[in-house]
């Protein structure tokens, strides 16, 4: 019997972008990825600074989340690269090292938890790609988005470490491109696909670096005539969308570029009304795209 | 291995002995040939004075104050350096160890400490506001609770994550 899936939204989506949680709940079951009733996970926890500062606590807190899924006999589908990165790495560490698992379980016993290692975690793009598949995905598309010239940004933490995330070739990623192509989007191949969004540099007090990352990426996509950036991670989304608004003065060489989270486009391609995508709440909007999303003539 | 030994020699001269010992660098540094493959690091493209080769071998390890070096926390854990290293070295793993020591000595950037405090005390990296509640209600999503926060705090305490954090009493409840 196939295990049910639990949605792991992550802090950023459930707190700041809950409409993405809603879209996942509504759309994934329609394409064959059933989602069980929401349970409340806590922070994955964050894989860069939190893990860097306190590696073992990171592992135990991740194990707690994995336990919550295991208690429901479920697997996890995550909506954020950072969450998937943490959960996948922690899961492999625990599954491959019985001594470490025992140690972690001794700590988890303090809250009455025990992890056996039976949970499978996947990012939603991975679940769509592997379980639904491109051909079946295409069969759900009633309104191909052929007017979009999209540049994909899979994001570092979904690609690496590749032997654990098992999503795509980190040096030449194509999976997100194929998923975009399935929605009818014209895929723009460009140099700079694997550049980091730079969102976490701000945590390291390097705002300049973070702005440069934003600018470098947008100049790269612009050079290849992409008219939007397509992501599957709320942190990359926030950096590119809110970042362009906050740093407008520093980005004078850059055309404002709208950013879409893959599920928003999946919804539109499946005939979901524009209003339900919450694209109108984005900081960077393309009037031309919005008219086409609404089915109006541009 | 002559070249490797050369690098070892040069690097050791520049690296304070205490750091070499603390992070087991004797086993690590001889193999770094500074081939620069790890220049693939995406951060090198946009952060001044940062490259894994420079930061890794010189800047961080040989810094007078490696634990307080701001470049340390610029590593975004993308693992690209590890992917391309011909010797399978992982600057990233070493950075993680040094990050941990940096945090323990209170030398991490303030944003890092704030993030850790938020996670261990509330269970989340971001604060839930009334705006969140309203947005979720409008979308028909269940409200967020902090039911798991107590367990997160307890696990954080027994595993040492709260050691360097001042937790106000009201947050403990």
**What DSSP string runs through A151-197?**
EEE--HHHHSSHHHH-SS-TTS--HHHHHHHTTTPEEEP-TTTT---
What does the pLDDT look like over A277-297, one tens digit per residue? Answer: 999 999 999 999 999 999 875
Query: Which of A46, A49, A275 to substitute to test the interface with B, most B CBs within 10 Å?
Result: A49
| Assembly ipTM | 0.93
Choose the closest CB to B161 out of A54, A111, A200: A54
Amino acid A242: pLDDT? 97
Domain boundaries of chain B, sorted by first residue: 2-104, 110-172
User: What angle do helix axes B149-158 and A55-71 make, rounded to 10 degrees?
Assistant: 140
Q: In chain B, which residues have their Cβ closer than 8 Å to the Cβ of A160?
A: 78-80, 82-83
Evaluate if residue B17 carries a pLDDT over 90: no
A49 touching B, CB under 8 A? yes
10 Å CB burial of residue A93 (0-12, 13-18, 19+) is middle
Show the tokens assigned to A81.
């690269």
**Are A195 and A271 contained in the same domain?**
yes
pLDDT average, residue stretch B49-66: 64
| CATH classification at residue A39 | 1.20.1050.140
Q: Are A85 and A47 in contact, with CB atoms under 8 Å apart?
A: yes
Q: Around Cβ A290, how many Cβ atoms within 10 Å?
A: 17
Choose one of A98, A124, A150: the last residue of a domain: A124
Judged by CB atoms closer than 8 Å, whether chains meet at A204 and B73 is answered as: yes
pLDDT in tens, A206-240: 889 999 999 999 999 999 999 999 999 999 999 99
| Mean pLDDT over the full length of chain A | 96
Residue A88 domain flag: yes
Q: Does some domain include residue A168? A: yes
User: Coil, helix or strand for A260?
Assistant: strand
Q: Which two tokens stand for residue A115?
A: 């992890």
Q: In CATH, what number is assigned to the domain containing residue A264?
A: 3.40.50.11810
CA distance A77 to chain B (A): 18
Please tell me whether residues A31 and A167 are part of one structural domain: no
Find the domain containing A22 and state its range. Answer: 5-124
Express each pLDDT in A52-109 by its tens digit: 999 999 999 999 999 999 999 999 999 999 999 999 999 999 999 999 999 999 999 9
Residue A57 lies in a domain: yes
Of B103, B139, B159, the CB nearest to A53: B103
Question: pLDDT for A124-174, tens place per residue?
Answer: 999 999 999 999 999 999 999 999 999 999 999 999 999 999 999 999 999
Which is more confidently placed, A252 or A86? A86
């Amino acid at each position: 019997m196939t295990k049910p899936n639990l949605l792991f939204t992550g802090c950023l989506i459930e707190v700041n972008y809950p409409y993405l949680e809603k879209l996942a709940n509504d759309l994934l079951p329609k394409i064959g990825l059933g989602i069980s009733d929401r349970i409340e996970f806590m922070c994955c926890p964050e894989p860069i600074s939190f893990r860097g500062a306190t590696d073992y606590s990171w592992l135990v807190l991740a194990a707690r989340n994995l336990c919550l899924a295991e208690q429901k006999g479920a697997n996890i589908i995550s909506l954020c690269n950072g969450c998937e990165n943490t959960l996948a790495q922690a899961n492999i560490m625990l599954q491959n090292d019985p001594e470490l698992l025992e140690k972690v379980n001794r700590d988890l016993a303090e809250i009455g938890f025990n992890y056996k290692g039976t949970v499978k975690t996947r990012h939603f793009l991975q679940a769509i790609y592997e379980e639904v598949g491109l051909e079946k995905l295409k069969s759900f598309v009633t309104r191909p988005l052929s007017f979009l010239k999209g540049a994909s940004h899979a994001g570092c933490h979904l690609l690496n470490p590749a032997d654990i995330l098992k999503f795509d070739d980190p040096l030449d990623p194509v999976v997100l491109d194929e998923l975009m192509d399935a929605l009818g989007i014209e895929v723009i191949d460009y140099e700079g696909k694997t550049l980091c969004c730079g969102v976490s540099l701000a945590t390291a007090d390097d705002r300049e670096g973070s702005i440069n990352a934003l600018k470098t990426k947008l100049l790269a996509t612009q050079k290849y005539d992409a008219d939007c950036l397509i992501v599957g991670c709320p942190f990359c989304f926030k950096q590119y969308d809110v970042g362009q608004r906050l740093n407008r003065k520093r980005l004078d060489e850059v055309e404002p570029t709208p950013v879409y989270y893959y599920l928003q486009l999946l919804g539109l391609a499946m005939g979901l009304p524009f209003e339900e995508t919450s694209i109108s709440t984005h900081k960077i909007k393309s009037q031309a795209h919005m008219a086409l999303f609404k089915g109006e003539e541009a | 291995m002559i070249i490797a030994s050369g690098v070892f020699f040069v690097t050791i001269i520049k690296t304070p002995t205490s750091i070499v010992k603390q992070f087991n660098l004797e086993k690590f540094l001889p193999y770094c040939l500074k081939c620069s493959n790890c220049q693939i690091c995406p951060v090198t493209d946009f952060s001044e004075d940062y490259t894994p080769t420079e930061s890794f071998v010189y800047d961080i390890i040989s810094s007078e104050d490696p634990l307080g070096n701001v470049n340390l926390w610029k590593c975004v854990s993308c693992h690209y350096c590890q992917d391309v290293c011909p010797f399978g070295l992982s600057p990233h793993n070493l950075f993680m160890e040094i990050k941990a020591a940096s945090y323990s000595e209170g030398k991490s950037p303030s944003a890092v400490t704030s993030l850790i405090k938020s996670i261990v005390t509330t269970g989340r990296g971001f604060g839930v506001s009334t705006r969140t509640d309203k947005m979720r209600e409008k979308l028909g999503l269940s409200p967020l609770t902090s039911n798991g926060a107590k367990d997160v705090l307890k696990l954080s305490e027994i595993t040492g994550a709260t050691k360097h954090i001042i937790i106000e009493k009201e947050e403990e409840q």
